[in-house]
């Protein structure tokens, strides 16, 4: 399973974050929130200074690009459990 993080942060900001935190996974930038809108995750003025951002959500997508598991947090402070994601990923057939 390949984790890919997406936010409105610019590539430079994501690169800093990735370096500081030692992340090895891919981080993509959606500065105009186009893809965020496509996935209907836009949180209007949800960010600091009233910027539009994504609401937190995770999608597990298989190799045929079908969604196999989703997580929409009700509370931004509650993080998705890693074990839930892994269980969903384990249930997928080998590609």
Partner 1 sequence: MRREWKQDEKSELFHNVDLPFTRHEVVRFDSGTLRADMQDVIERPSISAVWWGFALALSAMLCNMAFFIQPPAQQSIPWLSLSLALVALVFVGKGLWQVFAPPRIRRGRILGSILSIFSLLLVAVAVFTFFSARALPRSASAPQVGQKAPDFTLADTTGRPVSLDQLFAPAADGNSPKAVLLIFYRGYW
Q: What is the total count of residues that contact partner 1 (CB under 8 A)?
A: 67
Residue 24 is a binding residue for partner 1 (CB under 8 A): no
Of 22, 24, 50, 76, the residue at the interface with partner 1 (CB under 8 A) is 76
Token output for 91: 């249930």
Structural element, H or E, at residue 83: helix 82-90
Inter-residue contact 57 to 70 (CB < 8 Å): yes
Of 22, 24, 38, 84, the residue at the interface with partner 1 (CB under 8 A) is 38
Of 22, 50, 79, 84, the residue at the interface with partner 1 (CB under 8 A) is 79
**Rounded Cα gap, residues 18 and 23, in angstroms:** 5
Q: How far is the CB of 29 from partner 1 (least distance, A)?
A: 5
> How crowded is the C-beta side of 8, counted as CA atoms within 13 Å?
19
**Rounded Cα gap, residues 61 and 89, in angstroms:** 9
Residues found near partner 1 in the complex (CB under 8 A): 1-9, 11-15, 17-18, 26-30, 34-36, 38-44, 46-48, 51, 53-63, 65-70, 72-79, 81, 85, 89, 92-95
């Amino acid at each position: 399973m390949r984790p890919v993080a997406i936010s409105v942060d610019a590539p430079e900001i994501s690169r800093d974050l990735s370096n500081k935190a030692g992340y090895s996974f891919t981080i993509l930038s959606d500065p105009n929130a186009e893809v965020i809108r496509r996935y209907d995750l836009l949180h209007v003025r949800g960010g600091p200074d009233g910027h539009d951002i994504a609401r937190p959500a995770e999608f597990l997508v298989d190799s045929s690009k079908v969604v196999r598991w989703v997580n929409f947090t009700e509370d931004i402070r509650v993080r998705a459990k890693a074990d839930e994601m892994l269980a969903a990923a384990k249930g997928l057939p080998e590609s």
